[in-house]
Amino acid sequence: MSALTVNNLRKSFGGLHVTRNVTFEVAPGERRLIIGPNGAGKTTLFNLITGELTPDSGSIALFGEDITRVPSCRRPHLGMARTYQIITLFPHDTILHNVSLALLGLTPMRWNPLINMRRQRHLQEQAHEALRRVGLADIAERPLAQTSYGERRRVEIAMALAQNPRLLLLDEPFAGLSIDERQDVRQLLMTIPRDVTIVMIEHNMDVALEFAERITLLHFGEVIVEGTRAEVVADPRTREVYLGH
């Protein structure tokens, strides 16, 4: 049984075909890299997988369960979590509060506008553990606005890991990071256990290629190359897409 199965997925915006019959499977525990030039449809593909967009046709299965029509708010409950290319956090709240809110979203308490987060000790303990995993437990009470860009990337990953996902989708986790910050995030990702399947979009090929076991290359919304790192790097279509020859 595959962790993620995408079958003949299509999505258009008016006359613009953003995703064209995309089909691939990701094995449990796999580290999959999705690459492609700007406009290839990578983030749209993620938005279809997470339910933020509805496909025109095709299907998506998570560990054998068809989730094509499952609302996006339900997919985290089925074991899916993601990060975003553009960081979407609350800058004036503490790091701990941001992660606690991610956990709150998985509980029935999320509908209570009067909830006192300070009294939700179990959520705070889980949030602290997630921050420990990404090396930020010692600054948990720091306002997010007082952190570096790399630390915010790690906070976002902590928010996703705190939800105990079986499938983790990372949308350009190395974007905007310094060389040292990239290495910190890479080391963090290497520590994630194999019971979490990871699918990552990334432009920073040097770092991403070290991490990926299999690669899917998208171009104009279509899968044109798929295989191991060596196979994709050696394929002339990869060179054509990225270098124009």
If you average pLDDT over residues 78-87, what whole number do you get?
85
pLDDT of amino acid 116:
55
Taking residues 27-31, what's their average pLDDT?
Answer: 97
Per-residue model confidence as pLDDT tens digits over 145-171 = 899 888 888 899 998 998 889 999 999
Q: For the whole model, what pTM was predicted?
A: 0.88
Sequence-ordered list of residues with C-beta below 8 angstroms from that of 33, at least 6 positions apart, any chain: 199, 200, 201, 202, 208, 209, 211, 212, 214, 215, 216
Greater confidence (236 vs 242) lies with: 236
Instruction: Check residue 239 and report its DSSP letter.
Output: H
Q: Band of the pLDDT at 236, cuts 50, 70, 90?
A: very high
34 compared with 87, residue with greater pLDDT? 34
Q: What integer is the mean pLDDT of 3-15?
A: 95
pLDDT tens digits for 110-130? 544 545 556 667 777 888 888
Answer yes or no: is pLDDT of 103 > 70: yes
More confident residue, 190 or 209: 190
Instruction: Report whether pLDDT(238) > 50.
Output: yes
- What is the CATH architecture of 1-79+165-245? 3-Layer(aba) Sandwich (3.40)
Kindly tell me if the per-residue pLDDT of 98 is higher than 70: yes
Higher pLDDT, 49 or 84: 49
- The token pair that represents 36 in the structure block: 């492609």
Integer-rounded Cα radius of gyration of the chain: 18
Q: Which residue has the higher pLDDT, 88 or 7?
A: 7
How confident is the model over 174-197, as pLDDT tens digits? 888 888 888 888 888 999 999 999
pLDDT band at 88 (very low <50, low <70, confident <90, very high): low
Q: How far, CA to CA in Å, does 21 sit from each of 62, 161, 179?
A: 18, 30, 36
Tokens of 142: 């720091």
Q: Where are the domains of the chain?
A: 1-79+165-245, 94-164
- Edge to edge, the sheet with strand 31-35 lists 80-82, 167-171, 197-201, 31-35, 214-219, 222-228
Q: What is the pLDDT of residue 202?
A: 85
| pLDDT, averaged across the chain | 87
H-run or E-run covering 233 = helix 229-234
3-state SS, residue 47: helix
Would you state the structure tokens that stand for residue 237, as one six-digit string? Answer: 């279509």
